[in-house]
Structure 1
């Protein structure tokens, strides 16, 4: 068996390069995993915020405007959330009705 001290400088650099390439692949994989995790956490925060909010679907011809819970998929508008207080006021308006699917009035008027 050859003496390890006799390994050429070129062979040492090749081994070092292979190790660094391995480390780079592992680091890239970890970055991808953390990016996915961060995206999932951001979606959870956004979903929780939506569930704590309400939204109004504008009136369409021949119908009234609808009040939805923020997470209602029947009206997927992700912008323009309103507060609980505004939702209570909206329910009192004659031209705004509660969505029959997500029931935004549940718990809204009791508290």
Structure 2
């Protein structure tokens, strides 16, 4: 069990996730391991994260800074 959790955590740290838009807010891109938005499924890869940040209605999380190193 511990080994599986380590693998899942490593995968999350190398992925991104999108927090859906809620009323009055914009959608937000997070690093896979960001605790501000927990999603166990639905991780996206680096290329998809780059594309997402180019969308006008998706912002980068100011806590986990998912845009660092994506340029």
Q: Name the TM-score, length of structure 1 as normaliser.
A: 0.63
Length, aligned pairs only: 71
CA deviation map 1:9-65 (0-9, x unaligned):
xxxxxxxxxxxxxxxxxxxxxxxxxxxxxx111101000000000000000100100
Q: Classify the secondary structure of the residue corresponding to 1:56.
A: strand
Higher relative contact order (CA 8 A, sep 6+): 2
Q: 2:39 aligns with which of 77, 80, 86?
A: 77
2:17 pairs, out of 44, 55, 60, with 55
Would you tell me which structure has more helix in proportion to its own residues?
1
Larger strand proportion of the pair: 2
Unpaired stretches in structure 2, ≥5 consecutive residues: none
Structure 1 stretches of at least 4 aligned residues deviating more than 3 Å after TM superposition: none
Larger Rg: 1
Q: Where does 1:1-111 land on structure 2 (aligned, <5 Å)? A: 39-109=1-71
